[in-house]
Amino acid sequence: MTDTRKTALVVGASRTLGLGLIAEYLRRGWDVIGTVRGSGRTGLHDLAEASEGRLTIESLEMTDPEQILSLRDRLEGRTLDLLFVNAAITRGNLPIGEVSTDMFTEVMITNALSPMRVVEYLRPLVAPTGTIGIMSSDQGSISLNTEGGQDLYRASKSALNQLMRSYAVRYAEDTRALLLVDPGWVRTELGGPEAELSVEESIPGVAESIERHHGKPGLHFVDYQGQVVPW
């Protein structure tokens, strides 16, 4: 019998949104590969033990290009229906004039440059009809920025969106769907305890938005409710 299960790779899956997305795809019957930083035990390891072999864990420090290439080598021969990058940091709500050069560099590398390296380096693994997605944020929308604040985080997500736009133009003939997804304001370490949504409320919608755009080439910026997010 031919195995028709789909395969997803989620980069940045040790906790909160990434971990929730892994659990959601396992619930939907997919085979899933999740990446973690370092060798410590995480919630992903608990999911793997209960997954009956459908979840495998890979180690990846996303900011290290050599590790991304090494992961690609280890996954050679596998075909991904979904490559999804979930990774971002914030370093507090500082006015941009108070942000150090080191802090600016760290956040931009983690939130903008490194996700795009993952996309560029791992795209050969994604099926021609597959999907490449990145967790973005409505805080990366310039037109929605009417309140200010979170200067550096906003800038990093805007940079990510612009880089993904350039990627989409460069590969305009690509048949893969390309997604930037806003999960909403979620109660995570990054979103804070006052956020509107739990992970359990956000992630099924994220997965639905991804599924809704399957087979639709080109770049789409959408939220967890399937609504278009303005640039």
CA separation for the pair 213, 222 (Å, rounded)? 10
Report which residue type is found at 207: A
Region 91-119 average pLDDT: 97
Predicted pLDDT of residue 2: 45
* Residue 1: pLDDT band with limits 50, 70, 90: very low
- Checking if the pLDDT of 64 tops 90, the result is yes
Predicted pLDDT of residue 92: 87
CA separation for the pair 104, 115 (Å, rounded)? 16
Question: What predicted TM-score, i.e. pTM, was given to this entire model?
Answer: 0.95
Taken in order of first residue, the domains within the chain and their CATH numbers are: 7-223 (3.40.50.720)
The three-state secondary structure class of 180 is strand
Three-class HEC string of 82-111: EEEECCCCCCCCCCHHHCCHHHHHHHHHHH
Digit-coded pLDDT (tens) for 112-159: 999 999 999 999 999 999 999 999 999 999 999 999 999 999 999 999
**What is the Cβ-side half-sphere exposure of residue 128, based on CA atoms within 13 angstroms?**
2
Region 46-71 average pLDDT: 96
* Residue 192: pLDDT band with limits 50, 70, 90: confident
CA 40 to chain centre: 21
- Over pLDDT 70: what percentage of the chain? 99
CA separation for the pair 51, 34 (Å, rounded)? 12
* Residue 3: pLDDT band with limits 50, 70, 90: low
- Checking if the pLDDT of 223 tops 80, the result is yes
Better pLDDT: 99 or 2: 99
Max CA pair span of the chain? 61
Digit-coded pLDDT (tens) for 18-53: 999 999 999 999 999 999 998 778 889 999 999 999
Residue 29, token pair as written in the block: 């019957």
Predicted pLDDT of residue 15: 85
Residue 55, token pair as written in the block: 């979840």
The alpha-helical segments, DSSP class H, found in 61-190 are 65-74, 101-108, 114-122, 151-170
CA separation for the pair 145, 135 (Å, rounded)? 18
